[in-house]
Every structure is written in C-alpha cells, then in structure tokens.
A and B are shown apart, each in its own frame.
Chain A
Amino acid sequence: MSEIKKSINRISNLEELTYRDTVIHRLPPVIKLLMTVIFLVTVISFGSEQVSGLFPFLLYPVLLMTVAEIPMRPLLTRLLIALPFTLFAGLSNMFFSKEAAMMLGGIIITKGMLVFVSILIKTILSVMSVLILVSTTSMNDLLYAMLYLHIPTIIVLQIMMTFRYLSVLAGEISVMYHAYILRAPREKGIKLIDMGPFLGQLIIRSFDRADRIYHAMKCRGFEGGVIFSEHKKVRTTHWLGLMIVSVVLLILRFVNLSELIGQLVIG
C-alpha cells in the first residue's frame, strides 16, 4: 500500500475513535472545544524558560486518554510527526543561548536548554490536546461547535469541504502516482521534468471529481448549508464542569505545583 493510502487510513482511523461511548465522548462538542482552547492558551502563556510549571499539565492528556479509552499508539504516532520540527527549533536555542540559568545536581543548565525543554513540552501538550479533541469529537460535531461559538459559516464550510476533499485529493494522487510509476519502473518518484504536467493533470482531475461530488450533494438537497448532527444539549452542569477545569488550569498556571512538591519533599 502506498504512503498516500496509508495517510488516508490514518485520518479515518482517528475518526473512528470518535464513535466510542465514554464520558468524554458524550460531552457536548462546544465544551470539549472550549476546554481545549483554554488548555492551549494556558500552556502557551508560560514563559519560554518556565519549565517546571508545565509538568503538572502533562496530567491533562494522560487523564483524558484514560477516561476516553483512547489507545496510546495512534496518538503517539501522530505526535512523532510533529516532534522533528520542534526538535530543530529547540536545538538551535541550545547552540545560541548558552547563558547559565541554574545548577541542577552540579550540572549547569543553560537558558537554551530550558527553552528547548519548554518548547518540547509545549508541543507535546498542544498536539496531544488537539489529537484528543479530534479523537473524541466527530468532524460534524466540531463544525457545529464552531457555529455555536459564532465562527462565520463561510469559514466553517471551508473547513468542512477541505476535510472532505483531502481524502479525495489523496486518492487522485495515489491513482496517478501508480499509473506513472508503472510506466517509469526505474524512477524512484516523479521526475522534476514531469512534475508540471502531473500537477496540472491533478488539478484538472480534482476539479472534475469535485464537480461530480458537488452534483451528488446538490441532488440530495445541499444548498450550501453546513450539515451536522443535531447538537448535544449543553446543560448547566457542563458549563460548571468547564468552569472548574478552567479554574484548576488557572491555578496550575499561577501556582507552580512542581516547585511546591519539590519544596515539600526536600524541606
């Protein structure tokens, strides 16, 4: 199976996780979306050298994954895709910022090291929280949540279409790539000289396919609206739950729990 096909399957594997029935899955999508946004803002708001304060936030993905019964592997695989970018960004700090920040067991910890670890933890937390959100909430539900939060319909519609057409486009690339490779068995990929016509054909084919899909949609009454499942009702208890989580996150943001525990242990 080609890499393109594998990528399509990876997208749908994550989507299939949303059909589980756990407390987290049953939460209204608006609450989950807001919770994720609040978590992300809190994590990002930490300074570039504030590392210890971030550690308690690692509990968030662990806790949610446990309750939502999300397997580790599919999420970690996707996390690994994001990590190399972070590593490059973080490593450059280690070389350019060598000013000592603290001593840890006789080892000098530079500011660059702290920034590197901080970027790394922030990436892990951000990517994991978004992955958990999409593993527990279907795309339709997420789109509804966006509308509920008054994000303009045109933007929500664009997100919906992009998501739908992603697999269609990948399918077209896969078919064309196979047709190319079968007639160019000595090539490892598409030659640069053939790339222009290949991409041109891809655009034309994608337009044709999109046209047919649009016709099929029109034939079933599509008039440009956003199609989604009827929303789950947001109860007062849900809002209360969101407030509690937000308060806990804010406390963790301003009270360094790791430092407190360290002081208690060391004395």
Chain B
Amino acid sequence: MLKIDNLSVKYQDGNQVLRGLSLSIENGETVGLIGANGAGKSTLLMTLVGILLPLEGTIEIDGLLQDKKNLRELRERIGVVFQNPDDQLFMSSVYDDIAFGLRNYGMSEENIKHKIDYIMKELGVEKLQNMSSHKLSGGEKRIIAIATILVMEPSVIVFDEPSSFLDPKTRRRLIHLLRNVPMTKLIATHDLDMALELCDRVIVLKDGQVYAQGNAKDILTNQKLLEEAGLELPFCLQRIEL
C-alpha cells in the first residue's frame, strides 16, 4: 500500500509545487494521476522515489516510511518509468540495461540471466537482448524501459507519461502491456483516453493538491470538473464535427 500524508515539496528556487497533498493507493490498484502542466505530477513522482525530498509530510510504502537513510530500500519497493526512455537506457546493451538494477542490488549473474530471459520472453522482445539501446525504435525503447523496472519486481511502479512519443499502434501495445502488469501502478499522464481505459481510479491534481479523486469513469466524464482543473474531456468522449 502506498500512503502519502500532508506532503509539501518546495524547490530550491522557492517555488512550492506540492502543498499538503494526501492520498493512498491500495495494493494492485491502477491509479491515474492527471492535471494541467505544473500541477505537480512529475514532482510527486520524483518525491516518491526520494529524488526530491519533502518539506513536510510522509510517504509510506508497504509499511516503510520514507527517510533519507532508507532510500535504497525504498527504491527496491517502488520503480519509476521515466517519460523519456532515453534517460533510462544508458548501458551499452539492452541486456546490461535490464540487468543494471539487479546488479546494484547484488543479484548473482545466473539469477539475473534467468530473470532477464523470462521478462524478455514475456514482453516478446527476446531478439533485442544484445542490441544497443539507442538503436531501438521508440516503442521498443519504451518496452525495454518498462522491462528494466518490471525485472526488479517492485510492489509499486510509477509511470511518467508512458504513452508520450508513441504511435497509435505502439500505444495500443503499451496499454495491453500495462493492463497485464500485476503490480500497483500510478500513471501520471495527459493521455486521458488511456487513463479511462486502464485506470481503476483517477486522482486530479491542481496547484499541488488533490483537487478530486474517484472512479475513472466518473472523473473523466465530468467535463466541468476537468475544465476547472485545466483539462478537457478525453478525445473519445468529445463530439467532433467534420
């Protein structure tokens, strides 16, 4: 379970992005995190993994309270898929990129190989194992970036704009993939259609606070609420006149 209580985050330049934000996510839930630019989505994700430290408030993952001293342990429990896969794939080969986290946590090479073989087969990307990451297509990079986190088996995975840079077909493949990810998922996205398809619950952020939250269908079909939060209805619900 992920529990955030009264979280406030301020940048060094004095800009306070999160203001007393509280929320909780149950195990196995898929939650969409939506909001206009600057609402605090990315800041929240970075704070969850201890890249940014809170001014006040607490973050608890499976009973472990976030603290400067236990960030390593915390990062074993929560994985982040960054918005740009190029930021996440920095090793010389796809194999080494997926192995990176496991090696950092001291897993034996035999187990690493076993786990990588399994995850790549599951995702249908076995052929990419020895390729250089920068030679992959956008969709392949995204899948490998997800694999680098899935292989570590965290209890919570947060995704920062997972459908950005993807063509419609690859986006569809990603939605299928995410649907089959068994972990707790927090998906920060502007792709409201994907959130509608994928999420059990949606949390709307505005000015660093939770503006609304509830069942994905209830929230994402509420035009007034979305517009108040600087958003609009998902494309699939908009009437398009041709």
Query: Which positions in A face B, CB cutoff 8 Å?
Result: 8-9, 12, 15-16, 19, 138-140, 163-164, 167-168, 171, 209, 212-213, 215-223, 225, 227-230
Assess the A213–B90 pair: CB atoms within 8 A: yes
- Contact pattern, B 104-144, Cβ under 8 Å of A = 1, otherwise 0: 11001100000000000000000000111011000000000
Assess the A12–B51 pair: CB atoms within 8 A: no
Question: Closest Cβ of chain A: how far from B88's Cβ, in Å?
Answer: 5
Please, how many angstroms separate the alpha-carbon atoms of A213 and B100 in the complex?
A: 13
Contact (A220, B51) CB under 8 Å given A140-B96, A227-B104: no
Interface of A is mostly: helix
Contacts between chains A and B (CB distance < 8 A), count? 85
Question: How many B residues, CB 8 Å from partner?
Answer: 34
New contact pairs (9) apart from A212-B84, A227-B96, CB-CB < 8 Å? A8-B134, A19-B130, A168-B86, A215-B51, A219-B49, A220-B104, A221-B104, A227-B100, A227-B104
Q: Which of A15, A213, A223 touches B93 (beta carbons < 8 Å)?
A: A15
Could you list 25 examples of A-B contacts with CB < 8 Å?
A: A12-B132, A15-B92, A15-B132, A16-B130, A16-B131, A16-B132, A138-B92, A138-B93, A140-B91, A140-B92, A140-B96, A163-B92, A168-B86, A209-B87, A212-B82, A216-B80, A216-B88, A218-B75, A219-B49, A219-B79, A220-B148, A220-B149, A220-B152, A221-B105, A227-B103
For residue B101, CB closer than 8 A to chain A, the reply is: yes
Assess the A220–B108 pair: CB atoms within 8 A: no
Assess the A220–B109 pair: CB atoms within 8 A: no
Assess the B90–A164 pair: CB atoms within 8 A: yes
Assess the A216–B92 pair: CB atoms within 8 A: no
Q: Which of B51, B87, B91 touches A164 (beta carbons < 8 Å)?
A: B91
Query: Which positions in B face A, CB cutoff 8 Å?
Result: 46, 49, 51, 72, 75-76, 79-80, 82, 84, 86-88, 90-93, 96, 99-101, 103-105, 108-109, 130-132, 134-135, 148-149, 152
Please, how many angstroms separate the alpha-carbon atoms of A16 and B131 in the complex?
A: 7
Contact (A216, B87) CB under 8 Å given A12-B134, A221-B101, A230-B108: yes
> Which residue of B88, B92, B130 has the most chain A CB atoms within 10 A of its CB atom?
B92
> Which residue of B51, B72, B148 has the most chain A CB atoms within 10 A of its CB atom?
B51
Assess the A167–B130 pair: CB atoms within 8 A: no
Please, how many angstroms separate the alpha-carbon atoms of A222 and B106 in the complex?
A: 11
User: Which residues on the A side are within 8 Å of B51 (C-beta)?
Assistant: 215, 218-219
Please, how many angstroms separate the alpha-carbon atoms of A230 and B99 in the complex?
A: 11
Please, how many angstroms separate the alpha-carbon atoms of A11 and B228 in the complex?
A: 51
Assess the B148–A139 pair: CB atoms within 8 A: no
Question: Closest Cβ of chain A: how far from B148's Cβ, in Å?
Answer: 7
Question: Closest Cβ of chain A: how far from B232's Cβ, in Å?
Answer: 29
User: Which residues on the B side are within 8 Å of A8 (C-beta)?
Assistant: 134
Assess the B104–A222 pair: CB atoms within 8 A: yes
Q: Which of B79, B90, B105 touches A217 (beta carbons < 8 Å)?
A: B90
Please name the residue on chain B nearest to A220 by beta carbon.
Answer: B101
